[in-house]
Amino acid sequence: MNIPYTSKHMKAVFRVYPPSADDLLSTTIRIEKSQMERLGIKTGEIVKVTGMRSTAATCLPLDDGFSASSDPDITYLGNTPTLPQARPGGITMENLSHRGGEGLGQIQIEKVQSSVAEKILLVKVGQVQSGKMGFDITRLFGLVTSKGDRIYFRDEDYQLNFGCTVKEVQPEGFCVIDKDTKLEFSEGTPRPKGIHVNRGDLYNLTKVIPISRQIKTDTFALTIPSLEIYEEGLRCYVYIKGKHGANMQFMHSHVTADIVINDDLGNHYDAMVNGGGGSSGPDGFDYKWDVLIPPINSDVKEIALTVREIRWQESMNRPPPMSPTKDMRRNPSMKERANKRPKYSEIEKFPASMICSGPWEIRTPL
C-alpha cells in the first residue's frame, strides 16, 4: 500500500517543453540532472506532477543545459522567471490536462511514494478502430497511473487504438502497472460528475458577486468584473487588453491564460478556461476568456482566482505528426514502423512564444 512521507520533501516549479522523441507513448518526465539532485530524486523514481490537474510519472534525467533544435524561442516580459525545463512524455502531458496539454505552462514536481497496481477499473472513452481485439498487455507494463488518468491501448501497427479513463485504482494513489496488475472494464461515465462544468451546464443563476478588479502591467490590463454563482457551478469572465509594443510578431498569435482556482478550505478546482474570442491588430489586442468552475462546498467562505501567467504563441504552420500516417496504418514492416512512428522531433521548429508571469491573485468572499 502507499506509504505517505513523514519527512519534509521538496517541490519545485518547472516549465513544460516538448517531449523527447521516444517518450510520446510513455508516462515519464525528464528534468535536468542537477534538478533531480536538488529534489532528491533518483533515475526511475516516481514523482507527482501538477499542472491543471495532478498525475504521476517516472522521472528520467536530462543533461544540464539540454536543448533540442525544434524548441521554441521564448520572449519573457517583465519579471517573468526563466524556469528549469521539464519534458513530460505524451501520456503524462495528456494526464496533466485532459484538454490538449500544458504547452510551455508551469508545472510542479515533487517526489512521492508509489505502489504496484493490484487492480485498475477502466472506462472506455473511444471506439476500438478494428475488429481485432487482441492486445499485447506488456505494452502497459511500467506505466504510472492514478484515478482520473488516461491509459491508451495501441499496438505496434496502430490496428487497435482506443483510450480509457482510470475510474479506480487499488491501492489508492500513484501506482505502476506490472504483470500482476488486473485490468477490468466498467460501464459508466469516464470521469466522476462534477469534475468539469461546461457553458451549457449553467442554467440556474443564484447570485452575482461584483469583483471589479483590474491588474495592470506595462503590456496589458487584465479585468475581472464579477463572479456568477449557479446551482450547477460558477463562472467569471476575464478580459485582457493591451499593446504589442516591440513584439509585433505576436500580433496574430494564440493567447492562453493560465488560471488556477482554490478555496479557503484548501481545495483545488479543475477549472475550465475557454477562449471567448477577441481581436488583435497593429493598434493592440483585446481578448476575453470565461472561467468555469465546478460546484463548490457549501462551507467555503472565499475562493482565490490566481492568474499565473499569460502566454502568446505564434501560429504553427505545420503541426507535429502526432497521429498515425497512412503508411503506418497499412501495416508496414517493423523497420518501416521504427522510421515512421510519429515523433515531435520531426517538426523543424515549434512556434515562438511570449510569456508574462504574475502570479496575480484575486480573492472573492462568497
CATH number, span 199-316+352-365: 2.60.40.1640
Residue-level pLDDT at 155:
61
**DSSP-derived 3-state class of residue 280:** strand
Residues of the chain with CATH 2.40.40.20: 11-62+70-111
Q: C-alpha grid cell for residue 55?
A: 498525475
Residue-level pLDDT at 325:
41
Return the beta strands (E) in 217-331 as ranges.
Answer: 220-230, 233-242, 254-263, 268-269, 272-281, 284-293, 302-313
For the sheet containing 175-176, what is the strand order?
115-116, 175-176, 144-145
Residue-level pLDDT at 365:
94
Q: What are residue 15's DSSP bridge partners? A: 85, 106
**DSSP-derived 3-state class of residue 39:** helix
Residue-level pLDDT at 132:
47
Q: Which CATH class is domain 11-62+70-111?
A: mainly beta
Q: What parts of the chain have a pLDDT lower than 70?
A: 1-9, 98-103, 126-135, 154-161, 188-196, 316-347
Q: Is domain 115-185 in CATH 1.10.3720.10, yes or no?
A: no
Question: Could you tell me whether strands 28-32 and 11-16 are parallel, antiparallel, or unpaired per DSSP bridges?
Answer: unpaired
Residues of the chain with CATH 3.10.330.10: 115-185
- Asked if 330 and 121 count as a contact pair (C-beta separation under 8 A), the reply is no
Q: C-alpha grid cell for residue 311?
A: 502566454
Task: Give the pLDDT confidence of 235-257 residue by residue, as tens digits.
Answer: 999 999 999 989 999 988 888 89
Residue-level pLDDT at 326:
41
Residues of the chain with CATH 2.60.40.1640: 199-316+352-365
φ and ψ of 219, to 5 deg:
-105, -35
